[in-house]
Chains A and B, each alone.
Chain A
């Protein structure tokens, strides 16, 4: 069966510091991968998606970036965090048909 991992689970970072969140998927090959952000009490905002290694599409212009160095690894990064980057970050995967998406446990990021 497939599983998706995210770490860290929680993170408190000062404004201006760098960020690296990691997501890995097990039990499947060539998944589509997604990064979402969920602000407190709000819905989901798609940040990035990837259909293959090195292929990243950005949905929202911001100071975040994503990379996919391996087939089942997806990384969300920032060089300098802003207060507005605080939120709950969710990684998800789907099959290549993009049918339904399966989510990781999320990372709670607080920028102070």
Chain B
């Protein structure tokens, strides 16, 4: 079945460091891919998305590129801030599904000043 695998956390970085959170997926066809962010005690917010191969989603300095050849959608940011500390979830929607998202386990990011 379809699945999403994220790198285990927590990921701890210093402020202004470069961030990569790995996400790989297993799915048939061309799924849509998403990154969500969850700040402490809050619900999830859609961070960015990509719907076809080679698409790049971007928002708030974060980027992720849909790589069909490596079945990956890694999240990157050039210079992280303390306010980026949160849990990040990668998810996919299979092309034959109209309701369900398949979720990764989440990666906790801690940014130290």
Which of A97, A99, A108 has the most B CB atoms < 10 Å from its CB? Answer: A99
**Cα–Cα, bound, A102→B101 (Å):** 12
A98 at the interface (CB under 8 A from B): yes
**Chain A residues whose CB sits within 8 angstroms of the CB of B49 once the complex forms:** 100
**Cα–Cα, bound, A98→B45 (Å):** 16
Contact partner, A32, options B32, B44, B99, Cβ 8 Å: B99
Contact partner, B103, options A43, A104, A105, Cβ 8 Å: A43
Q: Number of residues in B with C-beta < 8 Å to the partner? A: 21
1/0 per residue, CB under 8 A from A, across B73-113: the answer is 00000000000000001000100011111011110000000
Q: Which parts of B10-46 form the interface with A (CB within 8 Å)? A: 32, 34, 36, 41-46
**Nearest chain B residue, comparing its CB with the CB of A95:** B98
**A43-B106, A44-B89, A99-B32 as given contacts; A94 in contact with B44, CB under 8 Å:** no
**Nearest chain A residue, comparing its CB with the CB of B108:** A41
Main secondary structure of the interface of A (DSSP, over half): strand
The smallest beta-carbon distance between A103 and chain B, in angstroms, is 4
**A42-B105, A43-B106, A94-B99 as given contacts; A100 in contact with B43, CB under 8 Å:** no
**Nearest chain A residue, comparing its CB with the CB of B97:** A98
**Cα–Cα, bound, A92→B106 (Å):** 17
1/0 per residue, CB under 8 A from B, across A63-101: the answer is 000000000000000000000000000101010111111
Whether B99 and A106, one on each chain, are in contact in the complex, defined by CB atoms closer than 8 angstroms, is no
Instruction: Show the binding face of A for B, using Cβ within 8 Å.
Output: 6, 32, 34, 42-44, 46, 49, 51, 90, 92, 94, 96-106, 108
Provide 13 A-B residue pairs closer than 8 Å at the C-beta atoms, listed in order of the A residue. Answer: A6-B43, A42-B105, A42-B106, A43-B104, A44-B44, A44-B103, A51-B99, A90-B44, A98-B93, A103-B36, A105-B42, A105-B43, A108-B41
